[in-house]
Every structure is written in structure tokens, then in C-alpha cells.
Amino acid sequence: MTDPEATPARRRPPTIHDVAREAGISRGTVSRVLQGGHNVSPEALKAVNAAIKKTGYVVNRHARSLVTQRSDSVAFLLTEPQDRFFEDPNFGHLLRGCTAALAEHDIPLLLMIAGTEEERRRIGRYITSGHVDGVLLVSSHSGNPMVELLQEARMPVVACGKPLGHATATPYVAADDREGARQLVRHLVQGGRRRVATITGPLDTPGGVDRLSGYREMLAEAGLGYDPALVVEGDYSRASGSAGMDALLRQAPDLDAVFVASDLMADGALAALDRTGRRVPQDVAVGGFDDSAVAASTRPSLTTVRQPWERISGEMVRVLLDLIAGRPPASVILPTELVRRESA
């Protein structure tokens, strides 16, 4: 007769021996798979992965790290103030994409924000102490000390966007910012606009520099010339887009179009135009950059340049894992796409 108060026996968690038995191969082969799959045949790798899934075996990361001298984790390092992370939807796109890409390799992603000197010191110590195997570096400004710190520590790093001053030493994945700007400005000019202004991104970032270069190149090709009164610098925030548009209207009240270097800034520019009674696109055509969720929600909806965020995230992870595995680095530049909506 069964004792109703008896404690049920705790089920023993599966071990590496169970995986080897299920896969029909040696424990040593299973161990090599868990340590990175070196010198393991594709058939054995497939059998071990299937056995892990069937048995429910969970890797002891601490034990594996003692053998491999790796942490089996990666940092997503954002070098911007914390409030910018929550305001700018692009960072969320990148974080989700990188998390999903790393999950395919069973590697967790640690979000780190280093927007102040104190945060940079604290996070720099953590990263260079071996707590992560590599870093996905996002939004690096020219002169950012984190880049040199990571290079000196010989930490595998992949940047999102070409890191100014470090492009030859730090591999990166980027959208073609210059060509994207050319696409948008070409569209404005072909629509008959002749006084085309721009609100740039920060000019100590690759996106800010390259999008301004594309704007200038396209104006030159159209024979319109370059007028400094038609250019103001923003910082990718909505507030800077609004302030930049106000400044442009004071400097060049006859402008008939504006290329804004991010959708978030373009949203701010649209609000400024609305305050002054300017109709979009009848009086002023507006174009953005990113094709974030903001672009479809503005009124009118925003013509913009689409960045392939999913591909950018996937390529950043692929390049970083290659670096961690000791393979040579390779930077990647991905094409952009013009998305036509109501604002231009």
C-alpha cells in the first residue's frame, strides 16, 4: 500500500553519460562537442545535438568555462546615455536581433550601457576581467576611450557602424549610410525640390559623417551646390530634430525639403513644421533614415531609408563568433532601400 505522505523520488538530471548513450558515441566525443565541436564529424555533431534535445541535458556552463577558459557570454555595449536606449527604437531592434542570433548558439547576451565616464570605468573593468568572450559595440563616437581599452585588452569586438579612427583595427557591420543618403536626396531632387536642407546626425559618429557626405554628393551631382545655411547638426534625438528644424527655418525660410538623418529626428522636425504652419509635403518635403516604427506612425507617414536591422544583427554576431574562434575579421557593409511614403 502506497504511503500518501511519502516524498516522491527526485528525478536525476541527465548527464553527459546519458547523452553519449543516447547518441551511441563516446563520452569524449560528446565532451568535444560541448567544448566547441572541434575535430568532430558532422554526423557525430548532429547525433549529439539530437541526444541533448531528447534527454534534456543542460550544459554546466561553469564547468565548461573551467575547461575552455571562456565565459560563454557576449556583451551588447551601448556607449550612449541610458535615456537614449529607451527613446531610440533602433537600439531595441539591434538588441533583439543580436539576442536571437546568439540564442541559436546557446550564448546569452548581456546588455551594458556606458554613457558616462564612471560607467565606462566600471564596465571596462568587468569586460576586461574575462566575464565575456566578446563585445558587440553600438554607437561609438570618435575618441570613445572604450574602443582603445578593448583593443588593448585584445578583446574580440565588432562595431555597429564604422568606428571613426579605428576602422582598420576594429571590424564592423554597417548599412551603406552614404548611398542611403544619396537615395533619399535624389528622390527629393527628382520631385522638383531645389532648396534641400539637412539635419545631420552627430558628426563624431560614422552615420553622421557618411550621411552628410551622401547629401553633399547628391546636391553636387544635381548642380545645386552646398549652402551651409541649409545644414544643422542633430544628435539623433526627437528634441534635436525639432530644434534643428526651427534653426533651419530661421536660417533658410525658403527651403522646400529637408533630409533628416534619423526617423526620430524627422518626427521632431515634422512637429516644428506643423507649429509654423508649413504643410508637408506641399510646402516642405521631409525624408528620414532608418525605417523604424516611428516612420509609419508620423503624420504624414515618413518617406525614409530602410536599414536592414535583422541582417545587421545577424552579421555582427557571425563576425564576432568568427573572431572568438580565432578566424580572421571581415567588415561588412549592407545595402539600404528607399521607402516612399506620404511626406516626400
The H-assigned helical ranges of the chain are 16-23, 27-34, 42-55, 61-68, 82-87, 89-103, 117-126, 145-152, 177-190, 206-221, 238-251, 263-275, 293-297, 309-324
Strands of the 257-260 sheet, one edge to the other = 231-233, 196-200, 257-260, 285-287
Lowest pLDDT segment from 34-48, 116-130, 217-231, 285-299: 34-48
More confident residue, 169 or 246: 246
Percent of the chain with pLDDT over 90: 53
pLDDT higher than threshold 70 for residue 170:
yes
More confident residue, 55 or 294: 294
At 59, the pLDDT band (50, 70, 90 cuts) reads low
The mean per-residue pLDDT over the stretch 317-335 comes to 91
Main-chain dihedrals φ then ψ at residue 196, nearest 5 degrees: -95, 115
The mean per-residue pLDDT over the stretch 266-284 comes to 96
d(CA 162, CA 69) in angstroms, rounded, equals 30
d(CA 231, CA 251) in angstroms, rounded, equals 9
Main-chain dihedrals φ then ψ at residue 336, nearest 5 degrees: -105, 175
Residue 260 is predicted with a pLDDT of 98
Residue 214 is predicted with a pLDDT of 97
Residue 68 is predicted with a pLDDT of 44
At 143, the pLDDT band (50, 70, 90 cuts) reads low
Residue 199 is predicted with a pLDDT of 98
pLDDT higher than threshold 60 for residue 63:
no
pTM of the full structure: 0.75
